[in-house]
């Protein structure tokens, strides 16, 4: 049975994703009146992924789709999924998918998305 805390913690992180408000654990922890370390430990135990990792995955999933479905610039897309800078978005995207977002977009256009990496 899920602890009643799980939906609340996930809701806080999900709200942060929707509002593109933060990627700092101490700010998320404050939202649930917990210390940063207690929040990270509790969230990781309950959800199975640290909150910032969870947040990153949930921001990059739609970004990956928008790269192939829209003509937004990389900077516009980065901002729309919660990154304050294009550079931070580029680094996170490359770390997750093995190539920068502009190259991802070009590769998808050439190959129809065949054999591109996915989020684990």
User: Does one domain contain both 42 and 61?
Assistant: no
Q: Which residue would you say has higher pLDDT here, 90 or 21?
A: 90
Are 44 and 34 within 8 A, CB to CB? Answer: no
pTM: 0.70
Mean pLDDT taken over the chain: 80
Confidence of residue 2 (pLDDT cuts 50, 70, 90): very low
Q: 116 lies in a domain?
A: no
Same domain, yes or no: 27 and 64: no
Domain holding 62: CATH number? 1.10.10.60
State the pLDDT at residue 94.
95
pLDDT tens digits for range 89-99: 999 999 999 99
| Count of structural domains, the chain | 2
pLDDT at 88 exceeding the cut of 90: yes
């Amino acid at each position: 049975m899920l602890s009643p805390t799980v939906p609340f913690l996930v809701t806080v992180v999900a709200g942060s994703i929707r509002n593109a408000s933060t990627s700092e654990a101490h700010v998320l922890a404050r939202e649930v009146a917990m210390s940063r370390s207690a929040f990270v430990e509790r969230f990781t135990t309950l959800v199975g992924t640290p909150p910032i990792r969870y947040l990153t995955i949930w921001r990059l999933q739609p970004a990956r789709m928008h790269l192939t479905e829209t003509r937004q610039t990389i900077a516009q897309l980065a901002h729309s999924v919660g990154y304050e800078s294009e550079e931070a978005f580029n680094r996170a995207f490359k770390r997750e998918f093995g190539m920068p977002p502009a190259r991802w977009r070009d590769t998808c256009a050439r190959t129809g998305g065949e054999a591109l990496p996915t989020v684990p």
